[in-house]
Amino acid sequence: MNVWLTQHTQALSLVLRRFRTNKLGTLLICFTIGITVALPSIMYAVLDSVNNLTSNIKSESRISVFLALNHSDAAIQTIKAALEKNAAIKNFKFVSKEEALGQLQALDTNKDVLHSLEKNPLPDAFFVEPSKLDAESIENLKAALSKMDGVEEVIVDGAWIKRLNYLLLLGQKAMLAIAGLLAFALAAVIANTIRMQIVTQSAEIELSQLIGATRSFIRRPFLYAGALYGLIGGLFALLITFTVIFLFNQSLAPLAAEYQTSFSLTYPSLPTSIITCLLSIVVGLISAYLAVSKSMYKLSSSH
């Protein structure tokens, strides 16, 4: 156990010394990795914030149930009782035709027209908020409401919900695609960096092989280098992400105030930050392992 710890400590110390020797190059590589990882992180923050905003908007969606003009008072009570028992309905509100007319008359527009009417042309209505907002649930609820006695018309604007869901789904797929492409770019950057280090230290590697060093012993410092590149790059990515979100929120605050809303991009949570760093480390390890294995195979073949 002590030998194992000593070997890993020596490998890590060797990598840190190499990093200190080439501070500028290490910083530039880690910053490049940080930018690469930050792009999908920022996209995720935007999509997550928009999804939270649209969840609030969706909760305000309603289905309008207009009753027939010649319905009875008993029909209202029957419909109300049915709505209370329906599990697909989150809540509902009844607006009488007198209340609806009063709301219209309270507006500044068309007052003369409304006062000239001999009778109230508006129907009694229920405004229903569904518990589920997927297209199938809304269509089923609309069909059930339309079959109730005394109901004249049921209106639901489900098109915008579908479009919104499709846009969010498209954004998520785009983010995954971009994240995948950037992961390959990140792997290429780290692998190329490790490969250049191997070429620079090829004489040292050959000498180690001649005196009996195992492949794992030779490979170990480069694996630590790949992991550290990923870790530092991930930390840079979080710093860039937090900075971009902070600047964006600062610019967005006046616009949000004009619309009397508090919308802002949410910062990555602690679990998200940890996952970002872990993924960067894993990509760094895999890239370093593949680069070292390929380079050592070439060195072995040349001899």
SS (H, E, C) 73-132: HHHHHHHHHHHHHCCCEEEEEEECHHHHHHHHHCCCCCHHHHHCCCCCCCCCEEEEEECC
The rounded distance, in Å, linking the Cα atoms of 222 and 217 is 10
Q: What is the mean pLDDT of the chain?
A: 80
Per the domain annotation, does 165 fall within a domain? no
Token readout for 263 is 């919308």
| Candidate from 125-139, 203-217, 259-273 with smallest mean pLDDT | 203-217
How sure is the predictor about 190, in pLDDT bands with cuts at 50, 70 and 90?
confident
Q: How many domains does the chain have?
A: 2
The rounded distance, in Å, linking the Cα atoms of 277 and 102 is 59
| Same domain? 47 vs 174 | yes
| Same domain? 279 vs 201 | yes
Gyration radius of the chain's alpha carbons: 32
Per the domain annotation, does 2 fall within a domain? no
| Same domain? 39 vs 152 | no
Per-residue pLDDT tens over the stretch 69-112: 887 778 888 888 888 888 888 888 888 878 877 776 666 555 55
Per the domain annotation, does 291 fall within a domain? yes
Model pLDDT, residue 236 = 95
pLDDT greater than 90 at residue 235: yes
| Same domain? 220 vs 139 | no
| Same domain? 49 vs 174 | yes
| Same domain? 188 vs 268 | yes
| Same domain? 272 vs 188 | yes
pTM: 0.64
Model pLDDT, residue 259 = 60
Model pLDDT, residue 69 = 81
pLDDT greater than 80 at residue 261: no
Domain boundary among 156, 187, 222: 156
| Same domain? 143 vs 44 | no
| Same domain? 123 vs 228 | no
How sure is the predictor about 8, in pLDDT bands with cuts at 50, 70 and 90?
confident
| Same domain? 92 vs 35 | no
pLDDT greater than 70 at residue 48: yes
The rounded distance, in Å, linking the Cα atoms of 170 and 285 is 31
Helix or strand or coil: residue 178?
Answer: helix
How sure is the predictor about 5, in pLDDT bands with cuts at 50, 70 and 90?
confident
| Same domain? 109 vs 196 | no
Q: Which of 183, 191, 181, 189 is nearest to 289 (CA)?
A: 191
| Same domain? 82 vs 138 | yes
Q: Which domain holds residue 139?
A: 62-156
Q: What is the CATH number of the domain that holds 150?
A: 3.30.70.3040
